[in-house]
Structure 1
Amino acid sequence: MSTAKDELANLIQQQPDDSTGEEIVRELAFHLMIQRGLADSDAGRIVSNEEMGRRIRQWQQ
């Protein structure tokens, strides 16, 4: 199992050589958001599509 540092270093290595610092940071942030979302899903911290639709309709009132 790799460490967080190894995982992020690997992601950086996978980026094109002409990537800007901003592009790399954006890719790392996206990766972390995906990991958090998967962890939330695994832990049951989810909202159904129906519930989210209800919440959005409330915001629009």
Structure 2
Amino acid sequence: MPHDSQLGRRPLAFTGLRLCTAIVDRVTFNAHIVETGTDSFRLPQTQKKRRRKA
């Protein structure tokens, strides 16, 4: 992760698909994924925004 002094440049650090995949892999490795049994709020909201733009 970038140092706090680089917060303004953070979006530039995670632009590559391969790099993002590697980061997600390392964050979730040996992690406990908790399923709450509820629907996602973010997914439908994102889909609505995309439909409005199209």
TM-score between the two structures when normalised by the length of structure 2: 0.32
Higher normalized helix content (fraction of residues): 1
**TM-score, with length taken from structure 1:** 0.29
* Higher RCO structure (Cα 8 Å, ≥6 apart): 1
